Amino acid sequence: MTNRVHHEDPLTAMNRLQHEEIEKYKWIESEKAGIDIGWERAATEWLDRHFPAWKKNNWQRAVQEAVAADIGWNQRRLLDILPHDPPAAADPNPDDAPIKLSPSRG
């Protein structure tokens, strides 16, 4: 059995962190109210009150990491599909060169 290291996508990580922040908010506000305020209320209030500042501090970094990870993946993929042998001799009739036709004899 192979031991694989799982690297979480940065945007998925941000979504998970946002969920954790809402869970914390729900717990704190439920304790203050003396009742469970529920996920929907907690999420709505957290998004209204805290999300803009949270996004400003976290979201841009996550996007930059995701783009960097995607670019790295695409570069590795490109290296996998490119031929590793030197290119063959130039084609005597590349697609963009006109083809000379000899007059037909008939």
Q: By C-alpha distance, which of 48, 49, 56 is closest to 14?
A: 56
Written as tens digits, the pLDDT of the chain (106 aa) is 555 555 677 778 888 989 999 999 999 999 999 999 999 999 999 999 999 988 888 877 777 777 777 666 555 555 555 555 555 555 555 555 555 555 555 5
Q: By C-alpha distance, which of 30, 55, 52 is closest to 41?
A: 30
Instruction: Please report the pLDDT score of residue 6 as a whole number.
Output: 58
Q: What is the DSSP letter of 90?
A: P
What is the C-alpha separation between 7 and 5, in angstroms, rounded? 6
Contacts (Cβ under 8 Å, ≥6 apart) of 51:
18
